[in-house]
Structure 1
Amino acid sequence: MPGALDGVRVLDLSRVLAGPWSTQILADLGAEVIKVERPGAGDDTRSWGPPFVEREDGHRDAAYYFVANRNKRSVALDISQPEGQAAVRQLASTCHILVENFKVGGLAAYGLDYDSLKSVNPALVYCSVTGFGQSGPYAPRAGYDFLIQGMSGLMSITGQPDGSPGAEAIKVGVATVDLSAGLYATIGILAALRHAERTGEGQHVDISLLDCQVSLLANQSQNYLVTGQPPQRLGNAHPNVVPYQVFAVADGHLILAVGNDGQFRRFCQVADIAALADDPRYTSNAARVENRDTLIAALKPVMAKRPAAQWTAQLEAAGVPCGPINTLDQVFDDAHIQARKMRVEMPLGDGDSHIPLVANPLRLSRTPPSYRQAPPRLGEHTLAVLAEIERHPDHTLSKDNE
């Protein structure tokens, strides 16, 4: 069955993670994605190893590259040269979407900026992903995930509280800024594509890593805007809900996530501390937040008496959310993850070798994501794509390829 975006063509001038994450989502949903890379080097992430994935033909790319580049065709073009610029311009004239993450103004020197390309394709949805956006005093700066985690305030609320062992601002263990920017880019692209389909008018989608991460501070930023007080690091505790954190248990650690007063009462019954649920200091979530320190001090020795499996079985039976802190081997061995088919295997070339990849989490009943091609070798499709341009040098979007 055709994918949701079957017939949509995407020109991907992005590299590393935020842009490629977005274009992979589009590709998984059926779009044709042409990835333009630098000859001889390619996407930066091809060299971001070890670990590396060895191909049957002797080529190897870092595992990092395989995260965000399946279902794409790779074309090696030198856009600093007139021939490369002309090829990109031709490709852009046939595409519905273009995604790039060059520094602000970087593509204007090559005549590949939005204003230049909309003259050859007025319906083009042109998405720019940068550290700080197309405007503002920081616009010329380069932006990287780690820097934005610090500048956005995310690291100021991540880590152990001041005065406790190991207290310092800590980054999140995955490039959450890049990934969230990729998701926002996809949302913006699809909204702009809908507008283009209705009106024939494309537009420039301006995605800033900093903007995206500031928006994702959610309740933490809203807490600050309401109170004027910057939130502090709480380790694994929650600023607005108690008890909602990690506890040491008899054989390790367990996450307890009590989200309402009814759950707290049931937790207290399971924990044999039912009287605590009637204590005026703890009867409501607001009271528990106010008296966090005394409540957590009372709960720690209680939680330490039973092993994680016993707590999990008893609390789940009572409808109290809880769960383990899994390592990645435990994640992919988990029966639920396996039932949801969150690991997929794709052929890696013409031989028998396969590459394991993380599946797209979207579940669509009629047009689900598909896995058509493993991440390509650098320039694997250059000749084929250039031949298409040669055969149709004046080709523009038409009903035949929509």
Structure 2
Amino acid sequence: MTVSAAGPLSGVKVLDLTAMLAGPFTTMLLTDLGADVVKVEPESGDRTRGLGPYRTGDDREQALGGYFQSVNRGKRSIVLDLKSEAGRARFLELVGVADVVVENFSAGVMERLDLSYEALTEVNPGLVYAALRGFGDARSGRSPYEEWPAFDIVAQAMGGFAGITGPKDGPPLKSGPGIGDIFPGTLLALGIVAAVRHAEQTGRGQFVDVAMYDAVLALCERIVYQHSYLGIAPRPEGNGHPLLAPFDIMQTSDGWVAVAAPSNKHWRILAETMGRPDLADDPRFADNAARVANVAEVREVLGGWLAGRPTAAVIDALGGRVPIGPVNDAADIFKDPHVHQREMLVDVEEPGSGTPVTIAGSPIKFSRTPAAVRGRGPKLGEDDAQTVLDQWSSPASENTNPSMTGGDDGGS
């Protein structure tokens, strides 16, 4: 694929020191929005380069694994040894013309390399320096866990998500997707965009810090006010909701559907569709508060009706009238016209293969400056640091993202 339209962050130059998922997801969002993101990798590369999965028959020497391809699409890659004098010097040259540096190293790594925020802002006072760690950076507030390593599952556990997820009265459960990485990465991208705007207005950069723990806690905001207002520590609720009913994932005769009808209007439609119009005026179910108080009976009545009907029939009867949807697996999603019409499944080149691979598209839509997947992920060291420096130092770089033009860095 080749994307020619400039995104809203066209001209923003980003040095990406991140690896694994959280940091690369941050910079992936910036890339989709049009920024020129250059991964600065050691000779061994981002650790996810070797994680796969790979397709049968693809050339493993050239192919990019799914993990890496998905969140590093549209970026460029240079190899620098930041522990060497030459590598550090070249990096500082790039910092001098960059707008943003993003890193997700453990606390103290950049300081030991003599590449701290303070050192980099001496080179470029307008630089936005963004850091993502498990428990944040001391510049924003000391944490007793500052030196602890963290992965997605740790953030989900400590931030409150796992403690309210899973079967009612059951053990805690992590989410399917890596929200402990992806949500902090999303918030960091938002922080970067805000800081870039401020820098454009004032000429002054700043330090942007997101802790994975903090981000997951923000995601779980409901447990905070429940504890404050009610003095309770919420526990797993299964697929239900403590404040809304019906609000559940329930079984049909051949699958599962999500159904939410907490408003009286939607409850009445649901009751009439079930052939039970009397339920709309029944005092036990007269409003949302009553339905929450009698949620076991709500589930019994609704569950019994759903269990006798296939998913397609339920969707035909209620789709567009009540908030409802099937529980899709990946194969279902690939067949859904919605994701194709909204370009949420995007084919990109797979190096060493004539057959493209499919990755998730950008969910952010603009009418004038489109966000888009701007090409495949980069091969390790595919780009040259001097070339990047020359391009970024050129006045034309203010309005151009080289990755939009196709060529070696674009897709097929």
Would you call these one fold, judging by a TM-score over 0.5?
A: yes
Q: 1:376 aligns with which of 372, 375, 378?
A: 378
The CA deviation at 1:351 is 6.8
Q: 2:126 is paired with a residue of what secondary structure? A: coil
Cα distance in 1 between the residues matched to 2:92 and 2:274:
67
Aligned partner of 1:101: which letter?
N
Are residue 32 (structure 1) and residue 36 (structure 2) matched? Answer: yes
- Work out whether residues 12 and 33 of structure 1, in 8 Å CA contact, stay in contact via their aligned partners in 2: yes
Q: What is the aligned partner in structure 2 of residue 23 from structure 1?
A: 27
TM-superposed CA distance for 1:259, in Å, is: 3.2
Aligned residue pairs total 391
Query: Which of 284, 288, 292 is the matching residue for 1:289?
Result: 292
Partner of residue 358, structure 2 = 356
**Do residues 185 (structure 1) and 156 (structure 2) align?**
no
For 2:58 and 2:94, locate their aligned partners in 1 and report how far apart those are by CA, in whole Å: 29
Distance 1:92 1:55, change over 3 A: farther
Deviations 1:54-108 (A, max 9, x none): 7668323321111111111111111122211112111111100110001112101
Give the match for residue 150 of structure 1.
157
Q: Could you tell me the percent identity over the aligned residues?
A: 35
Tell me the secondary structure at the aligned position of residue 16 of structure 2.
Answer: strand
Q: Does 1:311 align with 2:318?
A: no
- Structure 2: runs of 5 or more not aligned: 400-412
Q: Secondary structure at the match of 1:281?
A: helix
- Residues 132 and 352 from structure 1, CA distance in 2 versus in 1: closer, same or farther, beyond 3 angstroms? same
* Residue 108, structure 1, aligned to residue 111, structure 2: yes
Task: Extract unaligned runs of 5+ from structure 1.
Answer: none
Alpha-carbon distance in 2 for matches of 1:75, 1:117:
19
**1:218–1:397 distance in 2 versus 1, CA, 3 Å:** farther
What residue is the counterpart of 2:53 in the other structure? Answer: 50
Matched position secondary structure for 1:323:
strand
Question: Structure 1 residues 57 and 63, CA, compared in 2 at 3 Å: closer, same or farther?
Answer: closer
* Partner SS state of residue 86, structure 2: helix
Pick the aligned partner of 1:401 from 398, 402, 408.
398
Residue number among 185, 201, 222 corresponding to 2:225 in the alignment: 222
TM-score normalised by length of structure 2: 0.89
Q: In terms of mean alpha carbon deviation, does 355-364 or 115-124 score higher?
A: 355-364
Measured on the aligned residues, the alpha-carbon RMSD in Å equals 2.1
Q: Distance in 1 between matches of 2:250 and 2:349?
A: 43
Q: 1:320 is matched with which residue?
A: 322
Task: Give me the whole-angstrom Cα distance separating, in 1, the residues matched to 2:57 and 2:122.
Answer: 43
Which residue of 115, 125, 128 maps to 1:125?
A: 128
With over 3 angstroms needed to count, the CA separation of the structure-2 counterparts of 1:251 and 1:350, relative to structure 1, is closer
Q: Which amino acid aligns with 1:300?
A: G
- Which residue identity is paired with 1:224? H
Distance 1:153 1:120, change over 3 A: same
Does structure 2 conserve the Cα–Cα contact (< 8 Å) formed by 1:53 and 1:62?
Answer: no
Q: CA deviation at 1:237?
A: 0.8
Query: After alignment, is 183-192 or 340-349 more displaced?
Result: 340-349
Distance 2:379 2:31 in 1: 17
Deviations 1:315-350 (A, max 9, x none): 226x11211111101101111112112111223348
Distance in 1 between the 2:234 and 2:54 partners? 38
Q: Structure 1: which amino acid aligns with 2:275?
A: D
Q: 1:133 to 1:97 in 2, by over 3 A?
A: same
Q: Any conservation in 2 of the 1:130–1:209 contact (CA below 8 Å)?
A: yes
Q: Using the TM superposition, give the Cα deviation of residue 397 of structure 1 relative to its aligned residue in structure 2, in angstroms.
A: 8.7
Could you tell me how far 1:398 is from its partner in structure 2?
6.4
Query: Is the aligned partner of 1:329 residue 2:331?
Result: yes
Residue in 2 that maps onto 1:169: 172
Distance change (3 Å), C-alpha of 1:397 and 1:227: farther
Deviation at 1:249, TM superposition (A): 2.2
Query: Which whole-Å CA distance do the structure 1 matches of 2:201 and 2:220 have between them?
Result: 34
Post-superposition Cα deviations, 1:145-167, rounded to whole Å, max 9, x if no partner, equal 011111111111111112xxxx3
Q: Deviations over 1:9-34 (max 9, x none)?
A: 00000111111111111111211111
Q: TM-score, normalised by structure 1?
A: 0.92
Deviation by residue 1:123-169 (Cα, 9 ceiling, x = unmatched):
0000000000012111111111011111111111111112xxxx321
In structure 1, C-alpha distance between the alignment counterparts of 2:371 and 2:268, rounded to whole Å: 42
Distance 1:353 1:304 in 2: 42
Q: In the alignment, is residue 90 of structure 1 matched against residue 97 of structure 2?
A: no
- AA aligned to 2:367 is S
Which 4+ residue blocks in structure 1 deviate beyond 4 angstroms? 52-57, 395-400
CA 1:363–1:387: 2 relative to 1, 3 Å: closer
CA distance, structure 1, for counterparts of residue 394 and residue 101 of structure 2: 14
C-alpha separation in 1, matches of 2:388 and 2:317: 63
Counterpart CA distance in 2 for 1:353 and 1:293 is 51
How far, CA to CA, are the matches of 2:161 and 2:98 in structure 1? 36
Correspondence for 1:137 among 141, 144, 161: 144
Amino acid at match of 2:158: M
- Deviation track 1:233-261 (CA, whole Å, cap 9, x = no partner) reads 11111121111112222333222111311
